Structures are given as C-alpha cells and as structure tokens.
Amino acid sequence: MKRINGMLLSSLLPFLLMVVLFLFVPLIFMIYGSFQADGRTGLSLNQYAEIFRNAYYHQAFKNSILISFLSSLIAILFAIFATYSITRFSKNTQNRVLIFANLTSNFAGIPLAFAFIVLLGNSGLFTLLFKHFGWETLSSFNVYSWSGLVLIYIYFQLPLAVMLLYPVYQGIQSQWKEAASLLGASPLQFWLRIGVPVILPSIAGTFSILFANAMGAYASAYALTGSTYNLLTIRIGALTTGDIFAKPELGSAIAVLLGITLVAAMLINEWLTRKVRRDLS
Amino acid sequence: MKIKRPFYHYLTIGAVLLYLIVPLLGTLIYSFSTQWHKTILPEGLTFHWYKELFGDSVFLKAMGRSLILSFGATVLSLVIMVPTIFSIVVYAPRLEKFIQSLIVLTYAMPGVIIAVGLIRAYANSGISMVVVTVGAYFVGILPYMYQGTRNSLRNIHAVSLMEAAEILGAGQFTAFLKVILPNIMTGILVSSLLSFSILFGEFVLVNLLVGGSFETIQVFLYKKLNVSGHIASAIVVCYFILICILSVVIVKVTRSKKETV
C-alpha cells in the first residue's frame, strides 16, 4: 500500500522548510565561513591556523573548559546528595522542591548576573555586611572576577543537575536495598556495590550535559563585564558583531570548534544513557 | 506514620535551596529600597522604582516586543510542529529518529553558535533580522514542543484513535482536528507555556541578531544594569513574577490533566 499521505506531506514540508532555513543553512554558512580568509575571500585554513597559533584563543579554550568543568563538578556534587535527600521526603514535598528547581532554572543569563551584582557587587548587600563585620577577605570578594563567575555558573547548573538526577534515583528500587540488607549488606556496602554502579553512567551523562550547558553559556558573563572575560562564547560574539574588530570568519571557526565539543558531549551522554538502559533491562 | 529522616537530608536540601533563594530575595529587597550604599539594611522602603518603571514607555514597549516575539514564535511552532509530530508519530514512526537527531543538534547549538551562522546567512539578504530571530526561536523550542506533543499523543493512543476515526468514515484532517487535537490540548498548552517562558528570557539571539533596533525586555534590562541598579532589580522582580505565574499555570494544567485521565 503506497499512497501519498496528504497529511504527512502537507505538515512535513513547512516543518522541513523552517528547519532547513534556520538550522541547516546557518550551520552550512558558518562551516563554510570558517574555511574562508578574512573578508569572505577564497578558501583557506587560515582561521584554524590562527586559532592554533594564537595564545589568546588557547586561553579562551582553557578558560571555557575550566569554568565549565569546575561549575559542573561542584553543581553535580551538591545535586547528588541533595537530590537523594529529596527522594526521602513525601511525594508532595518532592514535587514542590522540583517545581522550585524548575522555576530557578529559568532564572539565568542577564537577570541572574544582576542578582549576583546586587549581592556581591562593589556595594552589594553581602559586601556591605562583610565590611560591617570587618571580614576583609570576604568583603574584598569581587563578583566581576573568575570566582564570581563560577558562583553564577553554579547557580544555573544546580537546578538543572537536580532535575536531571531526580529520575535517576527513581531507578534505584527499595526492594534492592531490602534484598541487600537481608543478605547482610550495610547501607555503605549497598551504595558502593549496587547503588553507585547503577547510577554512575547517569551521573556521568548528566555531567556531560552540564558541561555542554556551561560551555555554551554567554549572557551571564556578557552581563557582568561585556567582552572582557576571555571565554569562547564571548570571543565568538565579539568577533562576529564587534564593530571595529569584527572578524566573522575567525568567529565562525571558533564556533565550529565549540560546536564539535558540544556535539561530542551530547554523544557521550547518549552513549551513557543507552548503557544504563541495557544494564537494567 | 512519620518517617524519621537523618538531619543531613535537611542540610543538603537546605543548602541548595538557600543558594537558589538568596539572590532572588536580595534582588527583591533591593527593588523596594530607597538607598542602600553604606548601611547593612536599606535606609527606607519605597515603591518609587516600580512607579518609575511602569511610567517608562520604553519599558512598556520593550515588554510588548518581548511578548510579541515569544508569542509569535510559539504560535508559529504550534501551527507547524503539532501537525508534523502527529503525522510522524501516526504515519511515519521511522522519522522519529530524524527528529531526535535534530533535537540533539539544537542542544549542541547554543544561541551564540546559531547566531554566527544566521548573521552570515541572512544579514545582507534583505530579510528582516526580526523574522530571522523568530525562525531561530522556532528551532530553539523544537525539543520542548516535540516532547510535550509526542507524550500526549502516546497517552491518548493516537494511532488506534485515528484508525477508529477513519473506519467510521472521517478523513485525515477531520479526524486530526475533531478527535486528536481536543484530546492533546492540555499537553500542547503545557509545552507552549514552557516554550513561551524560555523565549521570554532569551537574550543571546535577540541581542546578537537585532540588538538595539528591536529592544526586548532582556536587552532593556541589560542597558539598565549600569544606569540604575534599583530599576534593574525591579525589572528582574517583574520578570521573575511572570515566570512564576507561567509555572503555576503549567503545574495546574498538568495536574488537572492527570486527574481526568
């Protein structure tokens, strides 16, 4: 039975048109642009050579990877314990905490950066408080510094980590614990031998999503100091839209490299997720 | 029966909640305070910043633009995505793999990356960059619209429903409009609200693609950051209240759906 399906065709066509126009076309233009010399001329590997030669861009890669790794690690460590604690409460409380996590996960970018300026900026609430008590080291904390940015990154990673890990703990069934304790295992032994090995792939998968999320983040750092942080996304933005120093071809090349990193992180997550499902079935 | 919980469960959750709440509270108090430069507590409380904000026509216009942009992209996505996902789930399940790869691709292409490509492709093409932004938003909310719509279709067993409707003599389009659509309404509504609230907070694309020429609420906020902290915090509070309202509606709608099924 091979008849042309009117509904399928008439709905798929506009959808494909949109996806091609606003996902594939820009992607192709970006990749093509990354192989052009400055000013859209000729084909060359100049842009990639420039990235590999220029220590400034090495630094951008290093900074982006470092802050993404650090913020993901801290967020996931807190989330591993907090999310497990959440599952020990009643369904109602669990739902409330999750709704709150979902709510704050929307609180990112410019508003979030601003909230931290209010707290820890030059005349921030905590800065004043610390000054009042004479805590020098704390009051001299600078929200515009790298450690300030890490705090902000942790803020937007934390709710995401909780929401991603919550279903993972649902997979650990209480029967397993009962069975293990009947066989004489202590809670510590249960977690070491059964619990952790079961959830480890999911934790690693969640970590790779968090990492990708932080690598692609732009607005918070931009809100804090404009273009002064040497992060990949900030460099891409500045190279693409900067009025004086615009080098869109170089920006495209960095964007391609960042995109490859993110795709890799996503694929690692996919692979790990599939690993979990096979183990449990 | 009261379950005994060790203290550290409260401690871990408390630490996370505290970290998430404090910046919100700080901004809230700051938006109501008159002066707060030297003292530990604000020198006074006032509605002044909110009055000034809502008296500012630039703010109201920016709010309007944000609403139009987010609403427009969400409606466009509804009109195009829902029939597409329906057709794929019912008639061409093999294409689901394709949509899922698209979704992985959109996750791997954050605003900055897609903006670079969009600027290269369309900046000198004569197409309005506002239209391009709507297109980019369409792609950006694809994962949420897909998840919500597909799950609703699964819940109502769309394939058997369609078979039944067609056996009874309904055409494809009639069956979709009169049988499927009313049954997945709540699911679609939830995905739309979610997409809308995500787009409402979007800054990267709109700033890089259109910037000052089409000032949305996020761009307006960015400009106010260095002008007046109090006004900026009032904007943040308004923005957060809006997300809260949207989230409450989402939760309510989801609950009522669960109760009826």
Q: What is the pLDDT of residues B208-256, one digit of tens each?
A: 999 778 899 999 999 888 888 888 899 999 999 998 998 888 888 888 7
Looking at the DSSP bridge assignments, the partners of residue A41 are: A37
Say what the ipTM of the complex is: 0.86
A205 in contact with B, Cβ within 8 Å: no
Q: Do B80 and A11 touch (CB under 8 A)?
A: yes
Tens of pLDDT, residue by residue over B142-176, are 999 998 899 889 888 888 998 899 899 888 888 88
Q: What confidence category does residue B3 fall into, taking pLDDT thresholds of 50, 70 and 90?
A: low
Looking at the DSSP bridge assignments, the partners of residue A37 are: A41
Q: What confidence category does residue A281 fall into, taking pLDDT thresholds of 50, 70 and 90?
A: very low
**In the A/B pair of chains, how many CB contacts fall below 8 A?**
246
Q: How many residues does chain B have?
A: 261
Q: Do B139 and A18 touch (CB under 8 A)?
A: yes
Question: For residue A61, what pLDDT is reported?
Answer: 94
Q: Count of CB atoms within 10 A of residue A194's CB? A: 16
pLDDT surpasses 80 at B23: yes
Question: For residue A278, what pLDDT is reported?
Answer: 54
Tens of pLDDT, residue by residue over A103-146, are 898 888 899 999 999 888 877 888 888 888 878 777 778 888 88
Structure tokens given for A103: 């709510």
Does residue B115 form part of some domain? yes
Does residue B141 form part of some domain? yes
A272 in contact with B, Cβ within 8 Å: no
Q: Do A154 and B19 touch (CB under 8 A)?
A: yes
Average pLDDT over residues A241-259: 85
A121: left (phi over 0), alpha (psi -120 to 50) or beta: beta
Question: For residue A136, what pLDDT is reported?
Answer: 76
Residue in chain B lying closest to A265 (CA): B108
B239 in contact with A, Cβ within 8 Å: yes
Rounded Cα distance, A141 and B91, in Å: 59
Average pLDDT over residues B31-52: 77
Question: For residue A138, what pLDDT is reported?
Answer: 77
In this predicted model, which residue has the larger pLDDT, B66 or B4? Answer: B66
Question: Is there a contact between A179 and A260 (Cβ–Cβ < 8 Å)?
Answer: no
A237 in contact with B, Cβ within 8 Å: yes
Average pLDDT over residues B40-48: 75
Rounded Cα distance, A114 and A108, in Å: 10
Tens of pLDDT, residue by residue over A47-97, are 899 999 999 999 999 999 999 999 999 999 999 999 999 988 888 889 889
Structure tokens given for A114: 């601003």
Rounded Cα distance, A261 and A256, in Å: 9
A252 in contact with B, Cβ within 8 Å: yes
Tens of pLDDT, residue by residue over B47-102, are 888 888 888 888 999 999 999 999 999 999 999 999 999 999 988 889 999 998 89
For chain A, the distance separating the N- and C-terminal CA atoms, rounded to the nearest angstrom, is: 36
Does residue B15 form part of some domain? no
Residue in chain B lying closest to A122 (CA): B37
Q: Which of B16, B117, B201 sits opposite A106 (nearest CB)?
A: B201
Q: What confidence category does residue B1 fall into, taking pLDDT thresholds of 50, 70 and 90?
A: very low
Rounded Cα distance, A203 and A265, in Å: 13
Does residue B25 form part of some domain? no
Domains and CATH numbers, chain A: 54-280 (1.10.3720.10)
Does residue B26 form part of some domain? no
**3 state DSSP class of A37:** strand
B243, B248, B254, B255 alpha-carbon torsion, rounded to 10° = 160
Please report how many Cα atoms fall inside a 13 Å half-sphere around the Cα of residue A250, on the Cβ side: 20
A241 in contact with B, Cβ within 8 Å: yes
For residue A179, the surrounding DSSP H or E stretch is helix A174-182
Does residue B171 form part of some domain? yes
Domain housing B240: 57-260
pLDDT surpasses 90 at B30: no
Question: For residue A1, what pLDDT is reported?
Answer: 46
Q: Which of B86, B108, B172 sits opposite A266 (nearest CB)?
A: B108
Residue in chain B lying closest to A5 (CA): B91
Q: Count of CB atoms within 10 A of residue A49's CB? A: 11
Q: Which residues of A touch B30 (CB under 8 A)?
A: 118, 125
B100 in contact with A, Cβ within 8 Å: no
Q: How many domains does chain B have?
A: 1
Does residue B47 form part of some domain? no
Question: For residue B145, what pLDDT is reported?
Answer: 92
A197 in contact with B, Cβ within 8 Å: no
Tens of pLDDT, residue by residue over A21-49, are 999 999 999 999 999 988 777 888 888 99
CA distance A13 to chain B (A): 9
Q: Count of CB atoms within 10 A of residue A131's CB? A: 16
Residue in chain A lying closest to B177 (CA): A7
Question: For residue B15, what pLDDT is reported?
Answer: 93
Q: What confidence category does residue B140 fall into, taking pLDDT thresholds of 50, 70 and 90?
A: very high
- Lowest pLDDT segment from A2-6, A104-108, B22-26, B86-90: A2-6
Does residue B234 form part of some domain? yes
Q: Do B201 and A33 touch (CB under 8 A)?
A: no
Structure tokens given for A223: 């809100």
CA distance B138 to chain A (A): 8
CA distance B232 to chain A (A): 8
* CATH number of the CATH domain containing B112: 1.10.3720.10
For chain B, the distance separating the N- and C-terminal CA atoms, rounded to the nearest angstrom, is: 30
B29 in contact with A, Cβ within 8 Å: yes
